[in-house]
Structure 1
Amino acid sequence: MPYVSRSTDSSIDGLFEQPQEGRAEEFLADDDPAVIAFNNKPLPVAAVSARQFKLQLLAAGLLDSVDAWVAQQSRDVQIAYEYSGTFVRNSPMMETGFSAMGFTPQQIDGFFVAAAQL
């Protein structure tokens, strides 16, 4: 039976075998639906290849919009988009671009998880 810590939105953000100092926790059974859902949640993806990233843009119907947005950015952003071999989830360019497209952090995570499967 794990000790569970929750984030501010009440979702589980960690499971522990022992109480963790400085964390508000509760004790839940291993077969509790919230524990099962947390254990089955896909791991965050920190980076994907350029091929995966751009194919996921295509699959999501965003490739043309992103290409147009990049064309309006500074030259260094344009070069990074065109020549990067890897796209890193938490880089400033990613955060700026996804914010411009109206993505939430959860949607960005979902995008990278989907891209990693390509």
Structure 2
Amino acid sequence: MPFISRSVDGAIDGVFEQPQEGRAEEFLPIGDPDVIAFENAALMVSSVSARQFRLMLRRAGLVDAVKAWVAQQDGETQDAFEYSGTFVKDSPMMVAGFAAMGFGQQQVDDFFTAAAQL
């Protein structure tokens, strides 16, 4: 059974395999929906480095399509694509670009999760 701690508002703020000194804890069974939701939220990737993003574009075969899309955008978008050190999943440029590539939200999440592993 995992040990969990909760914030003042009652939300889970930690899941541990062992008791943690100085934390009020409770036990929840493995597979508890609250524990699963907390762990899944922790796994969600919200940003990746430019290197990770570009390597993932290459692996997905999207480099040329994305560069063509970027070339049709305003100067700020072009500069952001070229010079950003980090790509943030929910930034306006990312949202617009992934929509133009026909990606759904799950595909975007999967793309960022895979990129974070590179």
Name the residue aligned to 1:46. 46
1:102 is matched with: 102
> 1:84, 1:56 → 2: CA distance?
15
Provide structure 2 residue ranges, at least 5 long, that are not aligned to the other structure.
Answer: 11-27
- In our comparison, the structure showing a higher alpha carbon Rg is 2
Give the equivalent residue in structure 1 for 2:60: 60
**Cα distance per residue 1:31-68 (max 9 Å; x no partner):** 55x88976875711011000000000000011110011
RMSD: 3.0
Find the aligned partners of 1:37 and 1:111 in 2 and give their Cα distance.
21
- Structure 1 outlier segments of 4+, above 2 Å: 29-32, 34-42
Q: What does 1:1-118 align with in structure 2 at a 5 Å threshold? A: 30=29, 41=40, 43-118=43-118
TM-score by length of 2: 0.68
Give the letter aligned to residue 92 of structure 1: P
| SS across alignment from 2:48 | strand
Counterpart residue identity of residue 72, structure 2: Q
Distance in 2 (CA, whole Å) between partners of 1:35 and 1:90 is 25
SS in 2 for 1:61: coil
Which consecutive unaligned segments of at least 5 residues does structure 1 have?
A: 2-16, 21-28
- Equivalent AA in structure 2 for residue 81 of structure 1: F
TM-score (norm 1): 0.68
Q: Which amino acid aligns with 1:82?
A: E
Q: Distance in 1 between matches of 2:117 and 2:34?
A: 25
